Structure 1
Amino acid sequence: MVMFSVGCRPDMTNQPKATPLSESDFFSNGANARRPPAHTVARGDVRQDTAFYTGQTNGTYVTQLPVKLTRDLMIRGRERFDAICAECHDRTGSGNGMVVQRGFPQPPSFHVDRIRNAPIGHFFDVMTNGYGVMYSYATRVEPEDRWAIAAYIRALQLSHNAALSDVDSADRATLDSKK
């Protein structure tokens, strides 16, 4: 019986290993691990679609969404916008959110010409890198959601500045019948 109990000791709790930031004599600098070589990318983290991950191609903002525009994308964009952006930009994009009403600097309205004429990649870039007093949301909002928000911002802009002539005749008849 004693021979079999030898294998039941908790030796796995006392195993030789390097703990984070501990010293080691294995490497000449005393560290227990080495830095990865420059420009290495962890497996699965290659981001080759620069338009999707940066909002730019050849240093210029993209003017078209690099994702398919769907109803689900717009719904997701509205949900994310209302949860993340509306606190400063308000739900209409006019820049008068709750934090602004409490004294935080007002962001520009999405409906001024300068912002309305900006390429869609600009909105993605601002969410990724921040701009002015707005900090980066790159670690808080996934790229897919940033594009959904950018698409929703564009829809807000279009709806805010739409003319009746922008609506096709079948939908215009429906609108007229509800008056």
Structure 2
Amino acid sequence: MLAALFALTGCEQAMHDMYSQPKYKPLEPSPLFADGNSARTPPPGSVPMAQGAAADTASGRRGHMTLPPDPGPALPLDAQGRSLAQADVGERRYANPLPVTMALLQRGRQRFDIYCAPCHGRAGNGDGMIARRGFPAPPSYHTDRLRNAPDSHFYQVISDGYGVMYPYADRISPHDRWAIVAYIRALQLSQHAPRDRLTPQDLARLPTEVRR
């Protein structure tokens, strides 16, 4: 009986301190701070130690996480990396500041195939594999509205998202966003190239009804 009594006194369920700890739940108000919020902004320079499966233990201190590269400012940049925000910020109508070279188009195609083609399709028709499986289909790049849209429109959509499209500013650098914009323009031109800009070899490859 004595042993049972000692066992009961040591029972954790009889000690409610572990179950009723003084703590704040997420976004719960607090009178301790001037703004009345218990959730505090991390101090400048804070570095996450670990997250998800990398944490492994409840302490969350097993190994440092590799931080992603700085995505840069959300507004478009010029070729030297300077922000174009001084111009018409309301409209944000900017042309691609990077010189369109084959290397830029190749980089844009690579990034496009990784981040954009799953929804937009390889040709930009809006029929990517994800859209074919029931996800809301994005508009085709070959509509008059998007062919006449400024380069900055595509840059801003990549950066900030649009509708159900998630923003990619934290995953695609400003330079690569402009490279994707250049490749989108190449896709549009491939479907709407003026006849006078085609070589005889290109014209010969077109269907007869198109050549007329």
Range of TM-score over shorter length: 0.5 to 0.7
Report the counterpart of residue 85 of structure 1 in structure 2.
Answer: 116
- Higher Rg of the two aligned structures: 2
Q: How does 1:36-51 map to 2 (within 5 A)?
A: 51=76
Report the counterpart of residue 146 of structure 1 in structure 2.
Answer: 177
Distance 2:168 2:195 in 1: 36
Q: Tell me the CA shift for residue 55 of structure 1.
A: 6.8
TM (norm. structure 2) is 0.56
Q: How does 1:27-176 map to 2 (within 5 A)?
A: 35=44, 51-52=76-77, 57-59=87-89, 60-167=91-198, 172-175=199-202
Judge conservation of contact 2:76–2:174 (CA < 8 Å) in 1.
no
* 1:99 alignment partner, SS class: helix
Q: Unaligned regions of 5+ residues in structure 2, if any? A: 1-39, 46-69, 207-212
Q: Tell me the CA shift for residue 161 of structure 1.
A: 1.1
Higher RCO (CA 8 Å, separation ≥ 6 residues): 1
For 2:97, the aligned partner's letter is P
* 1:124 alignment partner, SS class: helix
Report the counterpart of residue 14 of structure 1 in structure 2.
Answer: none
Distance 1:95 1:34 in 2: 43
Q: Tell me the CA shift for residue 67 of structure 1.
A: 1.3
Write the deviation string for residues 113-169 of structure 1: whole angstroms up to 9, x where unpaired.
Answer: 1111100010000000000000100001111110000000011111111132222xx
Sort the Cα spacing of 1:123 and 1:151 in 2 relative to 1 into closer, same or farther, 3 A: same
For 2:186, the aligned partner's letter is A
Judge conservation of contact 2:111–2:176 (CA < 8 Å) in 1.
yes
TM (norm. structure 1) is 0.66
Give the number of aligned pairs. 136
Q: Unaligned regions of 5+ residues in structure 1, if any? A: 1-30, 37-44
For 2:172, the aligned partner's letter is V
Distance 2:84 2:177 in 1: 10
**Higher normalized helix content (fraction of residues):** 1
Judge conservation of contact 2:161–2:167 (CA < 8 Å) in 1.
yes
Judge conservation of contact 1:127–1:138 (CA < 8 Å) in 2.
yes
% of aligned pairs identical?
46
* 1:156 alignment partner, SS class: helix
Q: Tell me the CA shift for residue 63 of structure 1.
A: 3.8
Regions of 4+ moved over 4 Å: 33-36, 53-56, 176-179
Distance 1:34 1:153 in 2: 40
Distance 2:186 2:109 in 1: 10
Distance 1:122 1:147 in 2: 11
